[in-house]
Amino acid sequence: MAVATLVSLSAGGWWSLPFWLISLFVLQFFRDPARHAPMGEGLVLSPADGRIVAVEETDDPWLKRRALKISVFMNVFNVHSNRAPVDGEVKGQWYHPGKFVNAELAKASMENERNALWFRTPAGRDVTCVQVAGLIARRILCYARVGGCFQRGQRYGFIRFGSRVDVYLPTDARPRVSLGDKVRACSDVLAQL
């Protein structure tokens, strides 16, 4: 905004228009609105804003088990703050550098830069939440550490510019979303444990 203001003062309105547009885009992208988590036993909340691109049974590469995988794709207009999907303790964390292919594609889950967190709920259920960088994204931020405890909906990280979050749940979890559904972090329920 400082550059846009400086160009406005020195060169005039039309020359500063591109700088104001860039400033507005950046402000919109880095917004992080307050949200309230719904109450209920065994709810798995969406860790990100976006669109559901996968609801399938597959292998959880982090915990070496069969799992229900639900993936949320975030475009550049979504809020990119990531939130804990469940109440629980962080039992493990894995970071892998990787490529930057389109995060909407299934192969992004295994090829792109990613950071995985293993949450164990008070009821002993294991949930893996994976931040996956996208085509433009070049920075995954994760504030969680092994041993830390989170409440569902609590912020734990941020991915800059287009990405996805994969959630791996026990196979007996009941999905409450379908392909193409739009979800909001902390506000919408992905599944029931």
| Residues with a known catalytic role | 163
CB burial string 103-120: b at 16+ within 10 A, e below? bbeeebbeebbbbbbbbb
- DSSP E strand boundaries for 106-162: 114-120, 126-133, 140-142, 149-150, 155-159
User: Phi, psi at residue 74, to the nearest 5°?
Assistant: -105, 125
**Rg over CA atoms, the chain:** 18
